[in-house]
Chain A
Amino acid sequence: MSRIIADNIISPLGATTQANYQAVKASKSALCHYNGGKKGYIGMSDINVPFPFTASLFSDEQRKSFCIEGFTLFESLAITSVRKALEASQIPLDQRTCLVISSTKQNVGQPARDEKQGDGDKNTAQRIAQAVGVTTTPIIVCNACISGVSALILGNRLIEMQQYDYVIVCGIDLQSSFIISGFQSLKALSEDNCRPFDIDRTGLNLGEAAATVILGKGNQKDGWFITGSAIRNDAFHISNPSPKADGCLMTIEAATAEQDTRRLSVINAHGTATLYNDQMEARGISRAELADVPTNALKGYYGHTMGAAGILETIITMHGIDHQTIIGTKGYDELGVSGNINIVRNNTSTTKTDFLKIISGFGGCNAAIYLSKRPVPSSQGNADSGVTTHTVLITPQKVMLDNEETDIGQQTGKALLTYLYKTRIQDYPKFYKMDALARLGFVATELLLQKEQKAGNKEQKTKGERAVIFFNESSSVNADKAFLSTIADPENFYPSPSAFVYTLPNIVNGEIAIRNNYHGETAFYILPRKDDETMRMITQATLFDSFHSSIITGWLECKTEEDFHAEVKIVERLAKLF
């Protein structure tokens, strides 16, 4: 259990949590309609898409106000938000304080800092850490739409494990032609203001924001405490949620397992206002027998702020309850999902002390956190260590299985992965649809599982409780380039939906979960470099959730189709014998 010490929100509605809360409470929305065109729209030279859309974007004036020389807009915004939270908390910035950044696209699609810097600069987390004075290794959580909650869960565990005394968790994403055209190609955008859970909802709006929370030890009586949490995978589809809400239900059940849900004031849903997401969440809430609990969604104020969403929406919900208020679901009028869930239309008063934040994302991932104003220590934490049972190394020239070199004929690079698929796997034609990073992770995992099966050391019944956790330093850089090539020419602007999906690196985790029916945690982390100690720490944090019997984990780097490096292993929980 960790305690929330300080927070900050910077959004088009204001640059402090207070300003944001007051705006939302007064039912102000940051959503604006933009008439896209081949020449972009007035005042926003950076976004250039040939279709109209509605989004929550910073004005040029706001952008200027937080721009710091020598840093990208993304970095400047993160630094400003973290600094504001630090000012309010006065925590020491030493070896016991860590920075976790939650973001789906970082600098990708943003203008470069200077001419020398390209898109997706890998040093971005280090530059932010350095600017705010954090000296330990920064971690980027890149776990699609659940990134924010995923980062809060990691921070909470690192404190429970006593790895750190303080964790600064900053969620941030900016919009770009890249992201807007990608969601448009998936037919996920609503041209007008979004309408979460409503019968007339037609899709989501995108938004920009940064939101920071500082977590500390839970050894105090007052404040907000994270008392339950879980991440689970649907193992259903890489971009559609499970219609039965399997993963969502599992996260709710795990996060509330030790909680008194009669104290729940509200369930703050993801509520993106797409047909599938809202229906799925309604199903999950009903199946968890929480349909009577008031449920709200905040996308009608902010749009979908991606990496910031989970953190921003947690902060607003927290401050609402501090003021005995449940914020109404802007855009909602008539129930348009099955099950009789209780959507809060207008601001409502509450005297209860707890809430549940749920969220879901591409790659089949789902997350839930339970927050309470009462410190209730959780017994979920499990400090068992892990033991490596099998390892695989794949480079463009070499394959090593359990440290033995494997014959790969004359094959190298991209052709090597296809060769491994054709000679050793064969029965999964979806392989050909995967991007290079997903192919690499898929083949590496298949080879590991074949070794495991041969050794006969894994009982079938525990496989569903397997987590899939990967790390790299370049995120989805190869897929990003592939998608950018479909939108680079304004005269030939045809964003590819399948190319866009793979611009989330955690899709590879989803592919592996689907193939093997794994329902454990799936997460992708970006580190400044291949760093065994940080990877070990995060693997340990995953085992901290006692649901997991084992983890497929390791380094999964793919700079181009021909330049990759996978070093993946199976880690089994070493249960205490005495």
Chain B
Amino acid sequence: MEELILELKEEIIRVLNLEDLTPEDIDPNAPLFGAGGLGLDSIDVLELIVLLEKRYGIRLASAAEGKTIFTSVGSIAQFVSENRKK
């Protein structure tokens, strides 16, 4: 799981262009959206949906489904480990 969390942090920084952050800056349990977290928004949710499909073969039907999965890096790691197809 630790490995997957680090991989996810690196991927998130890359696909969301968070150039000024390093993986160490991201707390796996901190909220990704809204104040106090990384401040991600609705387009970022869609980009994370693309990431899940491209990298892990997981297809989400709607952005609404994504909202609960993308609470934190930890919650994404949990979901990916349970549903990954590649």
Contacts and interface: CB of A to CB of B under 8 A. Distances in A.
Interface of A: 185-187, 237-240, 418, 429, 432-433, 492, 494-498, 501
Contacts of B54: 492, 494
Interface stretch (B1-9, B16-24, B28-36, B73-81): B16-24
Contact of A432 (B15, B17, B43, B62): B17
Nearest to A238: B43
Nearest to B38: A429
Contacts of A495: 50
A222 B15 CA distance: 57
B47 A496 contact: yes
A497 B16 contact: no
Contact of B53 (A237, A432, A494, A498): A494
Interface of B: 15-20, 39, 41-44, 46-47, 49-50, 53-54, 62-63
A501 B47 CA distance: 11
A548 to B, nearest CB: 29
Given A187-B62, A495-B50, A497-B47, 19 more contacts: A185-B46, A185-B50, A186-B46, A187-B63, A237-B41, A237-B42, A238-B43, A239-B43, A240-B42, A429-B20, A433-B17, A492-B54, A494-B53, A494-B54, A496-B47, A496-B50, A497-B46, A498-B44, A498-B46
Contacts of B18: 429, 432
A432 B20 contact: yes
Contact of A501 (B16, B43, B53): B43
Given A429-B20, A432-B17, A187 B39 contact: no
A239 to B, nearest CB: 6
A432 B21 CA distance: 10
Nearest to B62: A187
Contacts of A498: 16-17, 43-44, 46-47
A239 B16 contact: no
A185 B54 CA distance: 13
A497 B40 CA distance: 14
Contacts of B49: 187
Nearest to A187: B63
A239 B42 contact: yes
Nearest to B54: A494
A432 B46 contact: no
Nearest to A494: B54
Contacts of A187: 46, 49, 62-63
Nearest to A429: B20
A2 to B, nearest CB: 38
A497 B50 contact: yes
Nearest to A486: B50
